[in-house]
Structure 1
Amino acid sequence: MSAVSKVIGTHSGHFHCDEALAVWMLKQTTEFKNASLVRTRDPAKLNECSVVVDVGGVYDPAQHRYDHHQRGFVETFDDKHKTKLSSAGLVYKHFGREVISNLVGDSKQLEIIYQKTYDDFIESLDAHDNGISAYAGATPLFKESPTSLASRVGQKNPAWNEPVPDDQIDARFVEASDLAGSELRGFIERLVSTWLPARDLVVEAIESRLNVHASGQVIALEKSCPWKEHLLDLEKERGLEKVLYVLYPESAPDGNWRIQCVPVRPEGFENRKSLPEQWRGYRDQELSQISGIDGCIFVHAGGFIGGNKSRHGVYEMARLAVEQQ
C-alpha cells in the first residue's frame, strides 16, 4: 500500500482530545503523513484502515491497532508510570520519537525531549480520558479549567441541543485535531528552544561546582535561567550530593549577582538551607557590616534569596552560609 493510499481510522460521533491528538501525531510520521481520515464505528470499514485509534477494541502495534477501551487493557508508558494510556499515549509511545524528530530535527537530546513531553503534556491527557483523578481522594479539589486543552477540544463538539450533520462533525474533528497538534508542536519547540538550553547551563554548573566550593554544595550559572527543575532532576539522575545554593548574574547589565537557596521542591519556598538568620531583612551597607562581606545589596526576610554587587561577593555569601552551622 503506498503512502498516499494509507487510511487512518477512528470512531465517529462525539470526540475527545486523545484521538484528536493521536490522529495529528500519526500525520506527522513518514508512513501516515498523506493518509486520509475515516471516522466510523463500522468494523468492516475499520478493518480496511491502515491504522486505527481509539476504537475497535484491539491494541496490537504490529497491526497498527491502538485502542484502550477493551477489558483487561493496562498498558502504561513504561514501568515508571502508573497512568493507563489513552489513544494519545499509545500513539505517542510508538511514534513519539519520530514525531519529535520530524517537528524539530535530529537532536542528541531526543530521549530527554521524548520523556519530558510525555510527563508534562501527554500523561495528563491519558489520565483525563481514562477518568483518572490527579488528586488523592475520589473527589477533585476543584473543577477542570474550561481553558484546558481537553476542554477546548471538547468544545469543538456540537452542544447537546445543537443539530449538526455528520460531515460537519467530522470537519470539527479535524479542527480539534489541528488545535491539539498545534499545542503539542509549540510545547516541543519550546523544549528545544528554551528548556534544553537552560538544562545545558545547569549541567555545566554542576560539572564545575567544585571550582566554586570544595563541598560541591554551591553552583554558579553563567546566565540567569530557570534552574530548579533541572537541578533537582539532575541530582537524582546522577546521584549527586544535594546542592544548597545557586549563584547567577542578574539580567540587567549592572554586574549584580544573586544567591538563591535550593528549595525542597521546585514549586515551593521551603529551603534545604536558608541564608543565615542574622542577615535576613537587611540591606546595603548595614548588611555588609553584619555579614562582613563587601557589596551586599539585600537578603530577603524569608531567607531564600540575596544579592551582591559582584560575583566574588555572592561567592563569599555562599561560602559563609554553607559553613555556618
Structure 2
Amino acid sequence: MPYADPETCLQLIGTHNGTFHCDEALAVYLLRLTNTYADADLKRSRDPVVLDTCTIVVDVGGVYDESRQRFDHHQRGFTEVFGHGFNTKLSSAGLVYKHFGREIIARSLKTTLDDQRIGILWLKLYKEFIEAIDAIDNGISQYPTDVQPRYRLRTDVSARVGFLNPAWNESVDSQTVDSQFLKASRLVGGEFTDRLEYYANAWLPARDIVSGALKNRTQVEPDGKIILFETFAPWKEHLFELERELHVATPEQPIYVIYPDETGGQWRVQAVPVSPESFESRKALPEAWRGLRDEELSKVSGIDGGVFVHASGFIGGNKTKGGALALAKLALTIPK
C-alpha cells in the first residue's frame, strides 16, 4: 500500500517499522474503525522526524499523551491500566481501545455513545480479547508461577501475528515487511470485529433474557429460587455477573434454572453451580433421583414425564415445562 504524502494526507497513522507485534497491528486496525482515522494512511518508521509528521503515533516514540495523540507504552514510568477492575499494564492496543473503543463499538453497531450496550460491550471485549494481547506484549505471565507448562500454546492471536514476520532467511526489505504487517493487522482486526459482532448480536441478547428472568423469578416461585427461561439461552456467566450487579444476597439467590432444551422437544431443570466453572451445585437434585430415567424417574419422583436425572444431580429433564417446574419445586423441599 503506498504511503500518503504527509503534506497532503489529512490523517496519517505512525508506528514503528521492522518486526511487528500483535498490539500495534490491532491498534492500527482499531484506529481505522474510528471516524477520524477511517481513511488514514500508514507510516512505519522509528525516525522521530518522520513520526512528527504523523497525526497519531502508536507503539513507538516513548510518549503517552492523548492530547498529542501519542500512544506508546515502552517508556520508563509507564504504568497505565484499563481500570474498571483490570490491572494489566496496557500495550498500544489497550491504549487505543481505552480511548477509542466506545466510539468504535458505537460506529460498528450504528448507534450513539449513550446506547447502554456500549459500556457493557466495551468492558466485555477488553476482558475477553484485548487484555491478553496487552499482557503478552508486556511480558506478563498468565499465572504467577514458575511451574513448567505441560505443553506449549502457540495458537493464540499474538503468536499467529508473530509468525507473519519474515523468517530469518527471508527478505526483510521494508516493502515486504510492511505488506506482512497489513496482513497481520487484518488478521487480528478481523478477529476483533468477529468478537464484537458475536457479543453484540448473541451474547448481549442472552444477557437481556437472563436479566429479565432473574428479575421476574418470584413470579415463578415466591422465594425466587427458580428461574424460568421460555427460550434457550446461555445463562451461567450472565447470571453470576447480574447477581453481583444487582447485589442479590446469598439467601435470595436462585437454586434451579428451567429452560427448553436446544431442540425444543423437552425441558431441563439445572442446578445453579456455586461458580460459573464449578461442578459443585448450590443444591443438586435429590440423591434418590440421580441416575434414574423415564418411567423409573417418574415413579420415584411422583412426577409424570420424567426423562432423566444425571448421576451427579446437576441436571435433569422432563417432557414438559410443567413437569420440569414440578421437579424443581419438589427438589427445593427435599434436604440435601
Is 1:19–2:27 an aligned residue pair?
Answer: no
Q: Which amino acid aligns with 1:150?
A: S
Deviation digits for residues 109-130 of structure 1 (CA, Å, limit 9, x no counterpart): 1111111000001001001101
Shift of residue 3 of structure 1? 9.9
1:195 matched to 2:203: yes
CA contact (8 A) 1:10 1:55 kept: yes
- Verify: 1:231 aligned to 2:239, yes or no: yes
- SS of residue paired to 1:5: coil
Residue 260 of structure 2: aligned partner: 249
Q: 1:182 aligns with which of 186, 190, 196?
A: 190
Which residue is equivalent to 2:3? Answer: none
Tell me which residue corresponds to 1:309.
319
Shift of 1:160: 2.1
Q: Once the 2 structures are TM-superposed, how far is the Cα of residue 292 of structure 1 from its aligned partner?
A: 1.5
**1:323 deviation in Å?**
2.1
What SS is found at the alignment partner of 1:82? strand
Using the TM superposition, give the Cα deviation of residue 4 of structure 1 relative to its aligned residue in structure 2, in angstroms. Answer: 4.5
For residues 46-57 of structure 1, the aligned pairs below 5 Å read: 46-57=51-62
Matches within 5 A, 1:148-297: 148-240=156-248, 241-254=252-265, 256-297=266-307
Q: Distance in 2 between matches of 1:11 and 1:57?
A: 11
Alignment-mate amino acid for residue 240 of structure 2: L
Q: Does 2:94 correspond to 1:73?
A: no
Bigger Cα displacement from structure 2, 132-141 vs 15-24: 132-141
Amino acid at match of 1:309: K
> Would you say the 8 A contact 1:3–1:31 is kept in 2?
no
SS at match of 1:231: helix
Q: Secondary structure at the match of 1:83?
A: strand
Percent of aligned pairs sharing the same letter:
50
State the shift of 1:196 in Å. Answer: 1.0
Change (3 A) 1:231 1:105: same
TM-score for both structures, normalised by structure 1: 0.96
Letter in 1 for 2:247: G
Cα 1:292/1:243, change in 2 over 3 Å: same
**For residues 79-137 of structure 1, what are the alpha-carbon distances to aligned partners after superposition, in whole Å with 9 as ceiling and x for unaligned?**
51110000000000000011111222214311111110000010010011011111131
Provide the residue aligned with 1:105 in structure 2.
110
Evaluate the alpha carbon distance shift between residue 136 and residue 273 of structure 1 in structure 2; reply closer, same or farther with a 3 A threshold: farther
1:297 is matched by which residue type in structure 2? V
- Structure 1 residues without counterparts, runs of 5 or longer: none
Report the Cα distance in structure 1 between the residues aligned to 2:44 and 2:20, rounded to whole angstroms: 10
Alpha-carbon distance in structure 2 between the residues aligned to 1:3 and 1:139: 54
Q: 1:21: Cα distance to partner? A: 0.2
In the TM superposition, 1:84-123 aligns within 5 A as 84-106=89-111, 107-123=115-131
Residues 139 and 126 (structure 1), Cα distance of their counterparts in 2 relative to 1, 3 Å cut? farther
Q: Label 1:232 to 1:270 Cα distance change in 2 as closer, same or farther (>3 A).
A: same
How far apart, CA to CA, are the structure 2 residues paired with 1:295 and 1:2? 76
Note the residue ranges of structure 2 that are not aligned, 5 or more in a row. 1-5
TM-score normalised by the chain length of structure 2: 0.93
**Equivalent position of 1:319 in the other structure:** 329
User: Structure 1 residues 78, 225: CA separation in 2 closer, same or farther (over 3 Å shift)?
Assistant: same
Q: Give the SS at the match of 2:259.
A: strand
Q: CA deviation at 1:208?
A: 1.2
State the shift of 1:144 in Å.
4.9
Name the CA distance, whole Å, in 2 between partners of 1:211 and 1:318.
14
